[in-house]
Amino acid sequence: MARKPTARSEFVMFDVFYVDGSQRSNRKVDAALLGGLDGDEPAKAAIEEQDRLISEKSGMPPLEIKTLKRSGK
C-alpha cells in the first residue's frame, strides 16, 4: 500500500553573532518565514524567540543579537 506524502518543512541555517562576541552556528529558521520584501529580517525575530525559550530553561538571560548571516556563505 502506498504511503501518503508527508509535508516537508524546509529550514534555512544561520550563523548568529552576539554583542558579547560569542557565536552560534547552524541555527534553524523555517524557510516559510523568509523571503519577500523583508528578506532575512524575520529570521532575527525567530532566533530571538528561540533564545528566549532557551534562556527560560537555563535560567540565564538571553544574549543580544548583533548580526546574522546564512550558514555556508
The model's pLDDT over 6-51, given as tens digits with 9 standing for 90+, comes to: 666 699 999 999 999 999 999 999 998 888 778 888 999 999 999 9
Burial class (CB in 10 A: 0-12, 13-18, 19+), 68: middle
Check if the beta carbon of residue 71 is closer than 8 Å to that of residue 13.
Answer: yes
Residue 67's φ and ψ, nearest 5 degrees, are -145, 160
Residue 5 pLDDT: 67
Check if the beta carbon of residue 49 is closer than 8 Å to that of residue 65.
Answer: no
Provide the residue ranges of all domains of the chain, joining segments of one domain with +. Answer: 33-73
Check if the beta carbon of residue 7 is closer than 8 Å to that of residue 16.
Answer: no
